[in-house]
Amino acid sequence: MKLASWMCLLMLLLAKRGQLLRAELQGPTATTETTGPSAPTASSLQSGEPSSQADTEEVTTAETDSRAPAVSNERKASKPKDGTEFMPRVNPAVLFERLWNDSLMKQQKLKAEIEKIEASRQGTVETVAELTPEQLEAQLMYNQAIDMLAKPRTDKRVVFTLLKKAAAFNHREARAALAWAVLMGHWMEFDFHHAADEFESLANEGLPSAHMGLAFMYSAGVGGKNVSQPLALIHYTLAALGDDTLAQMALGYRYLYGINVPISCEKALIQYKRVAKKVASKVTFANGPVVHRVRLLDELENPGSHETEIVDYYQLLADKGDVQSQVGLGQLYYQGGKAIEQDHQKALEYFTLAANAGNAIGFAFLGKLYLEGSEQIKADNETAFKYFSKASETGDPVGLSGLGVMYLKGLGVPKDPVKALSYFTQAADQGWIDGQVQLGTMYFTGNGVKTDYGLALKYFNLATQSGHVLAYYNLGVMHAYGMGVLRSCPTAVEFFKSVSERGRWSNRLMHAYSDYKQNRIDEAYMQYSLMGEVGYEVAQSNAAFLLDREEVHVFNDRHEDLIRAFYYWKRAAGQGYSAAQVKLGDYYYYGWGTSKDFETAAALYRKASEQQYNAQAMFNLGYMHEQGLGMKKDWHLAKRLYDLAAETNADAKVPVAIALLKLQVLAKIESIKESPYKFIFYLDENIAANWDLYTITLLTLLLGFIMYTRRPFQQPDQIAAAQQPAFDLAAAAPVQLVPPVVADATAAAPAPAPPPAPAPEPDPSTASGTSKATATAAAAATSNGNGATEAASSGASASASANANALDPTD
């Protein structure tokens, strides 16, 4: 009897092992619950929509995926999928019973899901039907305000007026939007306590955005909330369960880096994948607006040129008919940038000017504008096809890619994946990013071609070099499910995080930078602080920068500012920003916001110098080797680090030269200590104790000697002249008689007048009333060795005339 029981147990274990082996061979595309979510379809890659029921159960299946070993597609192709060669001989009745039970469980689960969806739809219909007229009006005003807020050029006063009216009808989302506005100081005055009260009230009603607001306030310590990371984590979790995007990013960031939670790559992958799917579903043919991530620390240390002046320069060239400038300005207005906002109407004007001049790029971008449509331009497939065709006639890759998109999706033309593949291939061969992404997607999904994960991976990697969002997303999907590559959770999270940070909420970074430029520092800090909480490294470093410079007046406590700055520098340094690593080392070195720790500071300097070749980190590390702070004193290594800092950055040459001079002086002092003159360093202790007094005395004597040697020096003749009384040079000058004018030219010339006696040199201090011409004449008369007579004074006109008519006896 006991033997029979053991045999039955063994048969059950072998049957379980056979099922696990079948699940392993089927890989991530299987429908069995133990193998994880199924592979996404083509629509899920581009729009981010879930392709199967497995995506709705990713919370429960992600851990199973992490424990199951990854199997490559080559292995699956080389081995049979039915798993018969691994199946041991078992009782068919037992297998049939287990399969039947599994089938019944699946049917029951599917039925429950269908009933749940139908119940939720019925509840939604009943809820809409039960809304009062006031609530319907409030909902309409809220929707209108949100639509206006999403547009770049809208009157924000009208937006918040609509929100206030909707909030007056107790509209929850409108109340939450107003609370966020007074919390951020965005178009409204700061009122932290009102925001806290509103968030508390709305969180009790279960509003996800209110939980997100409370989580941020507990994490940042504003609005009367003391910093409490456990409470912040609770509210982040509740908001993420309510599908709040920023809360999902915050949770993903915390699980990725282990901030107040254990590090869990799988949980971070779940959160970031949800957000990335939302971003990918909103990406258009234009790849979305460009968001410039400006680091305030780098801008302070390396101020660049003024972008507005560059735009004005290109504007001048474009107005003069320069086609390249017209195309460049059109692309700037098409994508938007740091200096100018996105404006498709101006882009249309400049591309039209370029197209009229026969420029292929102008035709191609006109096609993109009419294909997508915008607030100012109505979409027109026929016009887009016309412009794409003109651009493709010259082989322009943008036009070729545009035609490929139209044939792939059937926009104004019949669907033709073969033609689309041809156009995408030609565009990708020329390095155009959209062609590479679309071609990779076709090979990934097998749309019009045979599925080839290798080629899909190749084209997606090429597109990521230019930063295409869909390329990052598709690579994240491939690494998350092990499709064409070995499954790698860290790599997938990296790609999904990059996609998540490209969403429309990243515009807050530009708003914060605009506030900083307008000297609205507190508003800029609150925006950077919020984006830093959800994992933006740029926002973390900028928030720490503002706190470090004592420009934030939200807390009014320098010690708290340093503590917050320390944690923001620490988070930015954890994401690999070398300047943040150097600043964090400074905080450990000086004990700002934390206790002094020379060893940690040295480790951070070394990390920044080795990984990012930071010159400041090399210099600091050399100084610590020179002084023996946190490490062994080594002057040779210090000199080597100083030299490396000078080679890395030309701005470091002057401080490095001073440091090397100091190092040589210290080395000379050490050599003297080992010489017979070492008694100099062992003088009386009284002298050593009062070294500052002796130093001041020596400096005073040195200053007196310098003043004595640089006093003004007077000549002896100047001293003698200063002792004589002043007199009038004009009165002292002798008067010469003018001889009569001889009519006959052959007549003998009269005898010349005797030369005047040399006049004494007047003193400059007593001859201030004498004219400059008089002094010049007297000096000339004194220096003339031949006795030539000239005018002694400009005031004596008769004497001057006589001297002018007199003849030189030497002629």
For the ranges 255-269, 686-700, 702-716, 771-785, the maximum mean pLDDT occurs at 255-269
Q: Ramachandran region of residue 395, left (φ > 0), alpha (ψ -120 to 50) or beta?
A: left
Do residues 313 and 431 both lie within one domain?
A: yes
* Residue pair 408/425 in contact by the 8 Å Cβ criterion: no
Q: Could you tell me the residue range of the domain that residue 417 belongs to?
A: 296-450
Tell me what the mean pLDDT of segment 156-185 comes to: 92
Domain boundary among 200, 222, 243: 243
Q: Does any domain span residue 60? A: no
As a whole number of angstroms, the distance between CA 604 and CA 611 comes to 11
* Residue 787 located in a structural domain: no
Give me the pLDDT at residue 768, please.
41
DSSP secondary-structure letter at 412? Answer: S
Which pLDDT does position 40 carry in this prediction?
Answer: 40
Q: Residue 556 has what pLDDT?
A: 83
Token output for 767: 């001859």
Let me know if residue 638 belongs to a domain.
yes
Q: What is the mean pLDDT of residues 765-773?
A: 41
Q: Is the pTM of this model over 0.75?
A: no
Token pair belonging to 240: 């993420």
pLDDT, tens digit (0-9, with 9 covering 90-100), for 641-660: 999 999 998 889 999 999 99
| Average pLDDT, rounded, for the chain | 77
**Burial state string for 567-606 with b = 16 or more CB within 10 A and e = fewer than 16:** bbbbbbbbbebbbbbbbbbbbbbeebbbeebbebbbbbbb
Which H or E run includes 733? none
List pLDDT tens digits, range 546-569. 999 999 999 888 999 999 999 999
CATH of the domain at 401: 1.25.40.10
Q: Which of residues 630, 655, 679 is at a domain's end?
A: 679
Q: 3-class DSSP state for residue 252?
A: helix
| Two structure tokens written together for 151 | 């547009």
* Integer Cα distance of 193 and 204 in angstroms: 17
Is 406 found in the same domain as 324?
Answer: yes
Q: Is residue 182 part of a domain?
A: yes
pLDDT in the model for residue 583: 95
Count other C-beta atoms under 10 Å from residue 316's C-beta. Answer: 11
Same structural domain for residues 207 and 307? no
Give the separation between CA 46 and CA 287, rounded to whole angstroms.
12
Express each pLDDT in 488-526 by its tens digit.
999 999 999 999 999 989 989 989 998 999 999 999 999
Same domain for 216 and 324? no
Does the residue 302 lie in any domain? yes
Tally of CB atoms within 10 A around 647: 14
Asked whether the beta carbons of 441 and 46 are under 8 A apart, the reply is: yes
* pLDDT above 90 as % of the chain: 48
Does residue 122 lie within any of the structural domains? Answer: no
Within a domain: 410:
yes
Residue 751 pLDDT > 70: no
One domain for residues 310 and 429: yes
The per-residue pLDDT for range 413-466, each reduced to its tens digit, is 999 999 999 999 999 999 999 999 999 999 999 988 899 999 999 999 999 998
Task: Indicate whether 437 and 327 sit together in one domain.
Answer: yes
User: How many separate domains does the chain show?
Assistant: 3
Same domain, 331 and 220: no
Measure the CA–CA gap between 738 and 740, rounded to whole angstroms.
7
Both 435 and 330 in a single domain? yes
With a cut of 60, say whether residue 39 has pLDDT above it: no
pLDDT tens track for 613-639: 899 999 999 999 999 998 889 999 999
User: Which has more pLDDT, 135 or 269?
Assistant: 269
DSSP 328: H
* Domain end call among 425, 450, 475: 450
User: 300 and 419, same structural domain?
Assistant: yes
Tokens 């515009």 label which residue?
Answer: 507
Distance CA 524, CA 721 (A): 73
Residue 339 CA neighbour count, 13 Å, CB half: 14
Are 423 and 352 contained in the same domain?
A: yes
What separation in angstroms does the CA of 66 have from each of 35, 480, 490?
10, 10, 12
Six token digits for residue 712: 């003004």
CA distance 376 to 323: 24
How many Cβ atoms sit within 10 Å of the Cβ of residue 89? 7
The type of residue at 657 is A
Which tokens sit at 5?
Answer: 């029981």
Q: Percent of the chain scored above 70 by pLDDT? A: 69
Residues 313, 444, single domain; the answer is yes
Helices (H) and strands (E) in the chain, counts: 40, 0
DSSP letters for 422-477: HHHHHHHHTT-HHHHHHHHHHHHHTSSS---HHHHHHHHHHHHTTT-HHHHHHHHH
Q: Are residues 326 and 203 in the same domain?
A: no
Query: Residues in the chain, how many?
Result: 811
CB hemisphere CA count around 783 (13 angstroms): 6
Query: Any residues with CB less than 8 A from the CB of 730 and at least 6 apart, and which?
Result: 770, 774, 792, 793, 795, 796
In a domain, 783, yes or no: no
